[in-house]
A and B are shown apart, each in its own frame.
Chain A
Amino acid sequence: MIGYIFRRVLAVIPVITIVAVFVFLLLRLTPGDPAAIIAGDAATPAQLEKIRTSLGLNDPLPVQFATWVGHLFQGDLGISLISNTSVSSMIADRIWPTINIAIMTIILSVVLAVPMGVLAAWRHRTWADYAVMSFSVLGFSVPVFVIGYIFIQVFSIELRWLPVQGYTAPSQDFGKFLSKAILPCLTLATIYVALIARMTRASMLEVLGEDFVRTARAKGVSETVVLFRHALQNAAVPILTIIGTGFALLISGVVVTESVFNIPGIGRLTVDAILARDYPVIQAMILLTSALYVFINLLIDVSYSLIDPRIRY
């Protein structure tokens, strides 16, 4: 087991390296002078030269790469061109709202979707199944911002139950965090509930047809035990895959929701950086999201082998 995890972690290194090279080249290989792109149209030659020196653009490419990677290892992601502060501290300020929202969304999605999917599979081709499937089609097809605005209209403006937008850290006031986070989380969760419920249903349907489920029934155990102890764990691998990728997508895809609900997370940081062409920030965001994907995939792979004893690589 330890050996397996060790090997999986080692396998991460080449992936991260390729991503790092790509991110590095992103700026260096864009046509024209990166300094000119960064500085914009109205830059003076002196400003250009200053940017070139600060980015180390006068050095040969491999040297630049080595310096850049060296800085990465010290947690130095560069200096923002707009705010002139360090990119790492900008991200550190903004990442917690995003992570908190993402975790809450994924918990909400799993809690809603897995029982829905199990129910749909258990009551295959009955109204319960059709209800779950219809909801799931709806959840897929309605855009996130529409759902967000509908929720705001209903719960905040008409019913006045919840605040329209904003964010409070859970460490400050957990109740306020919940009341402000619930709408964005529900909004984000719709599509994941749809996705996870569908995957759970499909996976459970397959497992419920297996011989060992018949064996369990022949033992005289109750349906709840058949469904949740015997079937669900066997159906878990694809469900877990969807949850994992869903979580990674969430972190990188919160851009819209953070804008709609005015949450100071990395989604909005990215949007602002793109609009302002703040290349060091964009670079850092790409690097961060890819690292996150790789890390979550690692986590999923390891958890497979915990769920299913047959998986030992």
Chain B
Amino acid sequence: MKFSTKSFDGVPPVLSIENLTVGLTGNPAAKPVLNGISFQIRAGETLCLVGESGSGKSVTSLAAMGLLPKSALEVTGGRILLQDRNLLDLSSRQMRDMRARHLSMVFQEPMTALNPVMRVGQQIEEVINTHTRLSQKDRQKKVLDIMEQVHLPDVERIYRSYPHQLSGGQRQRIMIAMALILEPQLLIADEPTTALDVTTQRQILSLISELQAKHGTAVLFITHDMGVVAEIADTVQVMKHGELVEQAPVETLLRHPQMDYTRKLLQAVPSLTPRPARETAAAASALTVQGLRKVYGASGWLVNREPTNAARDVSFEIPRGRTLGIVGESGSGKSTVARCIMRLIDPTEGSVKVGDLEIATLGRAALRPHRRHIQIVFQDPFRSLNPRWTVGRSLVEGPLNCGQDKQVAMAKARELLALVGLPADAIDRYPHQFSGGQRQRIAIARAIAMEPDVLVADEAVSALDVSVQDQVLKLLDELQQKLGIAILFITHDLRVAAQICDEVVVMQKGRIVEHDTAANVLGNPKHPYTKALIDAAPGRDWDFANFRELKAASA
């Protein structure tokens, strides 16, 4: 692992945050959201702000931009100095002038951060129009120039494109172009690569460092991903509940973390080294998929479209009590496969057998009684539970549909809540009263309530913090041992796959390119695509949990 070793001694700070406090608007008695934060970023430095959700990372960045939602949050104390100018003293008009010119921001979600009805070239140009007086010709030249700098292909065409015509990576490049076109002294990047595939993430990270080196920009980089931190940080700030826990140069922090919280955070990072192999199960197959194919958008009347093969020739088998992972980037077809197996969508051809029962060709009505054998847990626990139903009602809905008695189902639901580690009184509460991790436990309990033979987990831990992720993975493992369920685990995260899967299937463009035991796929990949995926995983040479290089562990 090569860490940044740049020295910033004597370099003047670009941004100094001094004793910054942010509280709830109109409620000075409430616990502050940021409680006396102080740090500095120097020219050319990359400071990574890390912490779990709710630690105040984004609030810090929005406060610096002057973009806190006024009706909810307000700065109650401290100073934010950008080159000796206190941003908190500026009028909203002066602050507007500062943005994009002196400090700018790149956001997490490139899919929604651009105006969908405006050509991207115009969106970049708007920055120039707002802050400078340039002729039409100079403006366009400048825009095309920055688009070249962020390595967009065919800039003239992309200049005229709408956001939906571009890929996620291209959109994030547009965002970066927009942020850097006026060469601000400070760039704030709030989880800029979290929504991207690993290979794209790698390109965007190197793009940011390249432009940073070129323009000497100070970068405040917000992330929850320790792998990314290891790759790009000069300095790291750990945050927890609105307070700074620990600050250190990156190598020091990863090698010799001082505070318990930092150690805990690092230890929760899943390792890329696969779990110890379990003996091959002799048990019967719980799920058998043969030659599965799904085609979208066949041409119809007056519509002439190329059909898309979302999945083709997908075959695998999961024995009872074992876990198979499907990994791949967005658009690889992994979710399509999950949905076909669940029969949430109908496969174009192929066979899906749960136990000995063929379900791919069953009609809707004939399928209903068999639905309980195969259940799913979705990615986003904030949206997958009905917000107006109590947890109990969500848990018993399935069993009631299968004709179970209400009293029996409720008693069972209470047992399930205990099984997934939630208090018994959770049954009468509503989803919004729980944290993300707790909600995912509820979602798992809901799936288990049907006593399925197969559990499909579609990115089930991707929206969770690492420490919570760790707990949910352990829970799934426990449930598997107790109940003997087969798990189909779909993820884009190789680290997570390494922790839970016995076998791993790698998908690319709708096809399976590699299928082997987890140890072989991750430790000795055969297919170039698998190799590229592993190669792009940030911080792959570092053993975060043991604060040392991975090689040291194997030696």
- Report A's interface with B, CB cutoff 8 A: 3, 7, 124-125, 210-212, 214-222, 225, 229-230, 233-234, 307-310
Contacts and interface: CB of A to CB of B under 8 A. Distances in A.
6 contacts: A125-B71, A220-B98, A222-B96, A307-B117, A308-B116, A309-B162
Nearest to B179: A218
Contact of B99 (A7, A211, A218): A218
A15 B164 CA distance: 33
Interface in B171-187: 175, 178-179
Contact of A234 (B115, B131, B164): B115
B297 to A, nearest CB: 13
B460 to A, nearest CB: 25
Contact of B117 (A215, A225, A308): A308
A217 B126 contact: no
B97 A210 contact: no
A165 B65 CA distance: 58
Interface in B231-248: none
A230 B122 CA distance: 12
A299 B164 CA distance: 24
Contact of A215 (B97, B107, B130, B164): B107
Contact of B164 (A218, A307, A309): A309
Given A211-B113, A220-B96, A220-B99, 5 more contacts: A124-B71, A212-B113, A218-B67, A220-B98, A220-B101
A210 B131 contact: no
B93 to A, nearest CB: 8
Given A220-B99, A221-B126, A309-B162, A212 B116 contact: yes
B338 interface: no
A125 B72 CA distance: 12
Contacts of A216: 115, 126
Interface residues on B, range: 20 to 34
B104 interface: yes
Contact of A310 (B162, B175, B302): B162
Closest 6 CB pairs of A and B: A220-B99, A211-B112, A211-B113, A212-B115, A309-B162, A220-B96
A310 B116 contact: yes
A308 B178 CA distance: 22
B50 interface: no
A129 B99 CA distance: 29
Given A7-B302, A125-B71, A310-B164, A221 B130 contact: yes
B117 A309 contact: yes
A225 to B, nearest CB: 8
Q: Which of B100, B117, B130, B131 has the most CB of A within 10 A?
A: B117
Contacts of B105: 218
A219 B112 CA distance: 16
B104 A221 contact: no
Interface string B101-121: 100110101001111111000
B101 A211 contact: no
Contacts of A233: 117-118
B127 interface: yes
A54 to B, nearest CB: 43
B100 A218 contact: yes
A262 B112 CA distance: 53
Contacts of A124: 71
Interface in B47-71: 65, 67, 71
Nearest to B122: A229
A184 to B, nearest CB: 36
A225 B118 CA distance: 13
A302 B131 CA distance: 36
Q: Which of A214, A215, A308 has the most CB of B within 10 A?
A: A215
Contacts of A309: 116-117, 162, 164
B175 A215 contact: yes
B284 to A, nearest CB: 48
Contacts of A210: 112
Contact of B302 (A3, A222, A307): A3
Contacts of A217: 67, 99
B391 to A, nearest CB: 27
Given A212-B115, A308-B116, A219 B162 contact: no
Interface in B22-65: 65
Contacts of B178: 215, 219
A234 B114 contact: no
A230 B115 contact: yes
Interface string B299-325: 000100000000000000000000000
Given A3-B302, A220-B101, A211 B117 contact: no
Interface in B68-110: 71, 96-101, 104-105, 107, 109
Q: Which of A215, A220, A221, A222 has the most CB of B within 10 A?
A: A220
Given A230-B118, A308-B117, A211 B109 contact: yes
A225 B130 CA distance: 10
B126 A219 contact: yes
Nearest to A125: B71
Nearest to B99: A220
Contacts of A307: 117
A274 to B, nearest CB: 41
Contacts of A219: 99-100, 104, 126-127, 130, 178
B114 A215 contact: yes
Interface in B357-398: none
Nearest to B188: A218
A151 to B, nearest CB: 38
Given A7-B302, A214-B67, A234 B117 contact: yes
A230 B98 CA distance: 20
B66 to A, nearest CB: 9
A3 B97 CA distance: 45
A49 to B, nearest CB: 49
Contacts of A308: 116-117
Q: Which of B65, B67, B126 has the most CB of A within 10 A?
A: B126
A229 B119 CA distance: 13
B524 to A, nearest CB: 41
A218 B117 contact: no
Given A3-B302, A125-B71, A310-B164, A218 B114 contact: no
Contacts of A125: 71
A219 B115 CA distance: 12
A242 B96 CA distance: 35
Contacts of B65: 218
A124 B97 CA distance: 25
A219 to B, nearest CB: 5
A258 to B, nearest CB: 39
A212 B99 contact: no
Given A220-B99, A220-B130, A222-B96, A214 B107 contact: yes
B439 to A, nearest CB: 22
A218 B112 contact: no
A234 B98 contact: no
Nearest to A309: B162
B96 A221 contact: yes
Nearest to B105: A218
A6 to B, nearest CB: 8
A216 B107 CA distance: 12
Nearest to A217: B67
